[in-house]
Amino acid sequence: MPASVIPITARRQGAYVLLDAVLPDREPRTIGVFLIDPAQDRAWVRMRSNFDEMAAPEDAEVLAALEEEIRGRAAESGAEAFLRSLEDSLSNVLRVGERATVAVDAFSRVLDRLYDEHVEKLQVEPFRTHLPLYSLRAAAGALGEEMAAEAEDWVRAPQGMRLAPDLFVAHVVGRSMEPRIPDGSLNLFRWHPAGSRQDKILLIQRFGALDETARYTIKRYTSRKVHRGEDEWRHEEIRLEPLNPEFEAWNVGPEDFAVVAEWLRVIE
């Protein structure tokens, strides 16, 4: 098995194994993926939800309970220790494949990609279960390179979120927003935020040489306004601030930049 199977450019590394069911008088079938974050000793697991067509009723019941059991045991003993226990023990029913490494931007995304490739195709329901991944790279530092922003993939949304067409995901590259926003991470944004922008973390663009390109950065936004008359205010200063103290803030004029979206959270 190759060391990496998913073409994701990312700063983090994960390790995973495939889980196979070996049932009497049946061919072995891959039924799940167990993925770990070695740096944080956390685990992600996804198993088939239905085993009726591949197992007798009593075996199907046992297999259906595996995902919850694996998740609980990994949380109790730690992801790495539990993975080693899986690798060291052989089962007549559950077989563990060879460990492999994979580049990770978001563990939930990589888990879905591995499951889709090795187990079964996952259904994508736009803005019901999944959100669009845009090709732009938000620079956590100075402005990034000039690039287009196009939807290039669908990513499973965090559980419990109410989805809407104004939500999307994109990568953040650079260290100026660490530790809150890791370098290379996948992040959730909302297009064109309403209301006050003060102290919010925003995705900001400077238009490029072509209509379809721009340069992007992500920063905490602060501004100072001057009253110019009844119901009229003017931005005197807009300041883009990093969260990492190793980096410096910078001031911009309101005519130089446009606020694209509000940052909501990192997708794990």
Residues 252 and 152 in one domain: yes
pLDDT score of 150: 78
Quote the domain boundaries for residue 173.
130-267
> Are residues 81 and 29 part of one domain?
yes
Q: Identify whether 90 is part of a domain.
A: yes
Report the number of distinct structural domains present in the chain. Answer: 2
pTM of the model: 0.82
In a domain, 224, yes or no: yes
Residue 169 included in any domain: yes
| 179 pLDDT tier (thresholds 50, 70, 90) | very high
* Residue 2 included in any domain: no
Are 48 and 75 found together in one domain? yes
Q: What is the mean pLDDT of residues 178-193?
A: 93
- Mean predicted confidence (pLDDT) in 64-86: 94
Residue 233 domain-assigned?
Answer: yes
Which of the residue ranges 63-67, 136-140, 228-232, 246-250 would you say has the lowest mean pLDDT? 228-232
Tell whether the model's pLDDT for residue 4 goes beyond 50.
no
Tell me the per-residue pLDDT of 101-137, one tens digit each, with 9 for 90 and over: 999 999 999 999 999 999 999 999 999 999 999 888 7
* 201 and 85 in a common domain: no
Residue 179 is assigned to a structural domain of this protein: yes
Q: Tokens in use for 231?
A: 């119901």
In this structure, the number of other CB atoms found within 10 A of the CB of residue 123 comes to 8
Contacts of 157 (CB under 8 A, 6+ apart): 129, 130, 131, 163, 167, 188
